[in-house]
Amino acid sequence: MQPYSSYRWFAVLLLTIGSGFSSILFAGDSPPPDGKSIYNRFCIYCHGEKGEGDGPAGALSGVATGDLSNKAYMSQLSDQELHDRIAWGEEKYPYLQMPGWRNSLSDEEIHAVMKYVRTLAVDKGPLTTPSPKEREERFRKDPLERGRIYYLHYCSGCHGKSGHGDGEFAKTLPDRPAALSNPAIAATITVQSINDYLTARKQSKKVRNMPIFEDDFSDKVDEIVLYIKTLAKKEGNSKP
């Protein structure tokens, strides 16, 4: 699965280009890969120096970049589980909005960076957020949770996390993305209308700013719409 990526993963693209160098660097009988330098080259942009999720590119993805330094959370993952999340990313763990690294990094490199990620963990007290297993389960069982993740993945970069039309990427657009959380706009949104909109975009020669998505996510539109309706409800409730 290659997610819609023209802006969201631009950082990853840049980094992947850099990975050409890494294979040269790590080729032959060079010393074993150094997890810290891999982290600083490929991960720091989103996860931040200390793994707290505050890297400069994090904001663009729309999704909060997880806190890799939270010991209570990270200690729930075995080395194998952590390795697999880095290697496969959202392909196997769709509740995590990060592409896997197995195409850019060798298994040895993934292992090394996994070990380095372990060293970032600091004791922040007991876990107050859902555990990895709870998150995974909730994603599997709850259509609204899937809608939330898909919305963040495909739409929030432009339409904003709360649907106000103020996503990070919107700042670079000549047209303001619609405020989907506006109850008047939300009321017109149906699965059919979104699908029609996306189809029209694909067929139209004069596509303006709403992207032509590479991904076929027609099977996810139901859940996205479900979630947009809750954004509008919040908006409606907050009106004086």
Name residues whose C-beta falls within 8 Å of residue 112's C-beta, 6 or more positions apart in sequence. Answer: 32, 33, 34, 35, 38
Does residue 159 bind ligand HEC (CB under 6 A)? Answer: yes
Does residue 179 bind ligand HEC (CB under 6 A)? Answer: no
As a whole number of angstroms, the distance between CA 114 and CA 91 comes to 18
Question: Which residue in the set 22, 112, 169, 227 belongs to the binding site for ligand HEC (CB under 6 A)?
Answer: 169
Residue from 206, 194, 4 nearest 99 by CA: 4
* Segment near ligand HEC (CB under 6 A); pick from 123-131, 138-146, 188-196, 231-239: 188-196
The one-letter amino acid at 240: P
Give me 84's structure tokens. Answer: 């697999």
| Cβ atoms of residues 60 and 8 within 8 Å | yes
* Segment near ligand HEC (CB under 6 A); pick from 121-129, 137-145, 153-161, 230-238: 153-161
The one-letter amino acid at 137: E
Does residue 177 bind ligand HEC (CB under 6 A)? Answer: yes
* Segment near ligand HEC (CB under 6 A); pick from 18-26, 118-126, 140-148, 156-164: 156-164
The one-letter amino acid at 230: T
Q: Binding string to ligand HEC for residues 55 to 94, with x set by CB under 6 A, is what?
A: --x---x-x-xx-x-------------x--xx--------
Question: Which residue in the set 26, 69, 87, 96 belongs to the binding site for ligand HEC (CB under 6 A)?
Answer: 96
Residue from 87, 76, 56, 88 nearest 118 by CA: 76
As a whole number of angstroms, the distance between CA 210 and CA 225 comes to 17
As a whole number of angstroms, the distance between CA 96 and CA 88 comes to 10
Smallest distance, Å, CB 224 to ligand HEC? 5
> Which residues of the chain form contacts with ligand HEC (CB under 6 A)?
11-12, 42-43, 45-47, 57, 61, 63, 65-66, 68, 82, 85-86, 96-98, 101, 113, 117, 132, 154-155, 157-159, 169, 173, 175, 177-178, 180, 185, 188-189, 194, 197, 208-211, 224
